[in-house]
Amino acid sequence: MDTIRDRIGLPCILKQPDSSFSKGVFKVEDPASLEERLDLLLKESDLVIAQEYLPTDFDWRVGLLDHQPLYVCKYFMAPKHWQIQRTDSIGQTRYGRVETLPVEEAPPDVVRTAIKAANLIGDGLYGVDLKQAGSKISVIEINDNPSIEAGYEDRVLREGLYTEIMSVFLSRIEQKKLPVPRED
């Protein structure tokens, strides 16, 4: 707790490492809420991720496969909320709007940062979430199972997005079928 306060500061974001769709992600504002939320999260997991709170109007998502960017989206924050998704006390969920850009029209530093981050993991299908505050670009997370929803991430490439993804995986399957050269 002291390390979080000293190195990251408050407010900050706490995450369960296996969370998804904003579940297990919390903003803590003060030492009392930090202690309370950490105690709750550590009952569920041996690890908690702490991140600097970076208020922005939207998060970037760069979708990549095989080291190549496929799509770039701006996920805007839900109305009157600090996340792109807000679930109220009765379970009703509201989302911010999504704007999809052609990769070549996205800020080059955002795309380069996403590629560099994903390349540290591998050549799979990743959705790299980033925040941009002025010229500062921060990687928030790398999703190894990014959502690709009709009408959102495919808004620019349309069917071409799915064709590209399937062609990469088909090529990988075909490569696996090839006989392995024998060393004599």
* Boundaries of domain holding 40: 2-52
How many structural domains is the chain composed of? Answer: 2
pLDDT in tens, 132-182: 998 999 999 999 989 899 999 999 999 999 999 999 999 999 999 988 878
- 41 in the same domain as 128: no
Mean pLDDT, rounded, for 45-66: 95
The reported pLDDT for the residue numbered 33 is: 95
Q: What is d(CA 102, CA 83) in angstroms, rounded to the nearest whole number?
A: 24
Classify residue 183: in a domain, yes or no: no
Residues linked to residue 71 through DSSP beta bridges, in sequence order: 63
Q: What is d(CA 50, CA 163) in angstroms, rounded to the nearest whole number?
A: 37
CB atoms within 10 A of CB 10: 14
Tell me which amino acid residue 113 is.
Answer: T
Classify residue 97: in a domain, yes or no: yes
Full-model pTM? 0.89
The reported pLDDT for the residue numbered 160 is: 97
Phi, psi of 149 (to 5 degrees): -110, 140
Percent of the chain with pLDDT over 90: 77
For residue 110, the domain's CATH number is 3.30.470.20
